[in-house]
């Protein structure tokens, strides 16, 4: 209760009578005692679940892919028949691999986090897979199958950065990224050519294009979505997709190599 102090005494007296008669109004804000609601997890009826399938294409001449010089690490060099290529992987028919595709917007609510851990392996001084996606809070296990020591060094912007050493035969590094962030670069400082990209997404609707450039996002509720494709070199593209119950749509992203 706050009182104006410039009112004359008699006015106050009058007000006093009034306020006494009214029993003195208490206006202390009622505190909403609502318990903190755990946001309900959205479940999608499998019979109504919609699907997005598609392909990612690379138009034009694919860039000449440099090969990795692993001479500094004979242990790894020996694990490859030929020097492996870096970066862009294009199938002979122009299909682009390692493109991260996800539902960027249009979803509402919270989705269950997968119990299955995502795996990232270091083999022959290459990350496998090269592009990986996990849900926020989903376990990521990073293993070292090489006879040499690596260090795993993600370079996120919104998550916290870390850099851990992992010796040969060392136990798996386990980590859960708490915040959504797309295409976090992961590097090994010891083997500077090693690079992987991890995307952390708040929901389970994402995919990475395979060797034939195809991807599939299943289990979506009906709705209008913005689907984004992100490639480490060619950048991002967006597309709007509207899905009805149990509908399946085929879309195509196309990058230009030049």
Positions touching other proteins (CB under 8 A) are 1-3, 5, 9, 12-13, 16-17, 28-31, 33, 72, 75, 147-149, 151-153, 155, 161-170, 185, 187, 189-190, 192, 195
- We find the least distance from the C-beta atom of residue 106 to other proteins, in angstroms, to be 28
Q: Tell me which residue has tokens 């500094």.
A: 72
Q: What is the phi/psi pair of residue 77, to 5°?
A: -55, -40
Give the DSSP letter string of 152-217.
EEE--SSS----EEE-TTPPPEEE---S-EEEEEEE-SSSTT-EEEEEEESSS-EEE--TTSEEEE
Separation of alpha carbons 195 and 130, rounded Å = 7
CA 8: distance to chain centroid? 65
Separation of alpha carbons 76 and 176, rounded Å = 28
Q: Which is nearer to other proteins, 85 or 147 (CB)?
A: 147
Determine contact, residues 190/203, Cβ cutoff 8 Å. Answer: no
- We find the least distance from the C-beta atom of residue 12 to other proteins, in angstroms, to be 6
Rg, Å, the chain Cα set = 28
Q: Which is nearer to other proteins, 64 or 160 (CB)?
A: 160
- 208: tokens are 């990475």
- We find the least distance from the C-beta atom of residue 57 to other proteins, in angstroms, to be 26
Q: Which is nearer to other proteins, 25 or 46 (CB)?
A: 25
- We find the least distance from the C-beta atom of residue 167 to other proteins, in angstroms, to be 3
Q: Which is nearer to other proteins, 1 or 47 (CB)?
A: 1
Q: Which is nearer to other proteins, 185 or 239 (CB)?
A: 185
Separation of alpha carbons 228 and 205, rounded Å = 11
CA 253 to each of CA 229, 235, 256: distance values in angstroms, whole numbers, following the listed order: 7, 12, 10
Q: Which is nearer to other proteins, 139 or 185 (CB)?
A: 185
- We find the least distance from the C-beta atom of residue 87 to other proteins, in angstroms, to be 12
- We find the least distance from the C-beta atom of residue 176 to other proteins, in angstroms, to be 16
């Amino acid at each position: 209760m706050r009182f104006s102090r410039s009112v004359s005494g008699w006015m106050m007296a009058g007000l006093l009578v009034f306020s006494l008669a009214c029993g003195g109004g208490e206006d202390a804000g009622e505190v909403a005692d609502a318990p903190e609601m755990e946001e309900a997890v959205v479940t999608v009826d499998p019979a109504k679940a919609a699907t997005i399938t598609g392909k990612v294409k690379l138009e034009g001449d694919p860039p000449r892919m440099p090969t990795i010089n692993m001479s500094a690490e004979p242990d790894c060099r020996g694990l490859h028949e030929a020097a492996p290529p870096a970066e862009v992987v294009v199938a002979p028919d122009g299909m682009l691999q390692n493109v991260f595709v996800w539902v960027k917007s249009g979803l509402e609510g919270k989705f269950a986090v997968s119990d299955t851990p995502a795996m990232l392996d270091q083999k022959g001084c290459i990350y496998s897979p090269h592009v990986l996606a996990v849900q926020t809070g989903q376990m990521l296990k990073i293993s070292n199958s090489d006879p040499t020591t690596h260090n795993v060094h993600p370079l996120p912007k919104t998550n916290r950065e870390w850099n851990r050493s992992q010796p040969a035969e060392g136990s798996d590094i386990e980590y859960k990224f708490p915040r959504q962030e797309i295409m976090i670069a992961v590097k090994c400082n010891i083997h500077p050519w090693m690079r992987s990209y991890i995307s952390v997404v708040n929901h389970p609707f994402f995919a990475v294009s395979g060797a034939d450039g195809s991807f599939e996002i299943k289990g979506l509720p009906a709705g209008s979505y913005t689907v984004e494709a992100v490639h480490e070199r060619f950048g991002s593209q967006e597309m709007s997709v509207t899905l009805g119950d149990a509908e399946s749509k085929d879309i195509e992203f196309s990058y230009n190599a030049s």
